Amino acid sequence: MIWGAEQWILSAYPGRDSICVETGQNIWHMLCEQKEQLVGKHVFARYGDTFPLLIKFIDAHDDLSVQVHPSDELAQKYGEPFGKTEMWYALPSEQGARLYCGLKTQLTPDEYKQMVADKTIINALAEYEVRDGDAFFIPAGRIHAIGSGCQLCEIQQTSDTTYRIYDYDRRDKDGNPRELHTERAAECIDYTVHDDYRAHYTPRTNEPVNIVTCPYFTTNVLQVTEPIVRDYSRLDSFICLICLDGECHLTELENNSQTTITKGELILLSSTTADVRLSGSFRALEVYID
């Protein structure tokens, strides 16, 4: 990317499909064959043959554009199947790295457009210094920007629809100014001002700690130092485990199958998964649709 590196570690976005190591199939083909057995009955009823989540690692060498994403309704108005609600989980980043999330100043749409024209819109955004383990929930409509030096795990709806608001007057690879989407962004921005845009949680060891629950995904963090058992039988959903640090050993107790994932790796468990024993010393994100 013009601003750094972006790794799509789980994706069924057309043309950018993840490949399953065990089967050699991409996620879309697996979903078409396994249907609700892979993703769960209520997930399949809602999304059909579209895998609903996209999970990324982001390493920002430069500032990303100030941007906003549409809701499902607004995305469909402009011919896209889904909007984009997302969250960030901060990984160890450069000292002083910062990001922007949400408005700190009450604006009208006209005031927003004037600040874009004046190239001062960033002055209206809430700014945060990034610390390892920080989390931010970014529902569709919340203006945001990732700053240089940030490393994040991003969990989002399967969508690549972004409305660019301000891009520091950067040029693309052909020397042309990058396109801005001022009018469409104005239509979908949530102009509500909040006191704090962090997703607050209290870390605990050897048990799941919820960070975000929304209609599109639930995300928990697991900091494990001794074996624990996770009972997924109540879920009507696939489960993603993303290893952020250390080494995570998984044993499915029903069939005693064993897998290990290490830092930067993800395992996708089907909706038929029941009890899983997790051991090792690791930090991971646990993601599913409740």
Give which of 236, 240, 196 is closest to 222, Cα–Cα: 240
**Which residue among 16, 46, 98, 164 is the active-site one?**
164
User: Tokens standing for 191?
Assistant: 């102009």
- DSSP class of residue 16? -
Each as own residue / partner, the long-range contacts of residues 139-142 (CB below 8 Å, 24 or more positions apart, any chain) are 139/85, 139/190, 139/214, 140/69, 140/70, 140/71, 140/72, 140/74, 140/83, 140/84, 140/85, 140/188, 141/68, 141/69, 141/70, 141/71, 141/188, 141/189, 141/190, 142/68, 142/101, 142/102, 142/190, 142/197
Specify whether 198 is catalytic. Answer: no
**Among the listed residues 59, 52, 131, the one whose alpha carbon sits nearest the alpha carbon of residue 98:** 131
Looking at the annotation, which residues are catalytic?
164
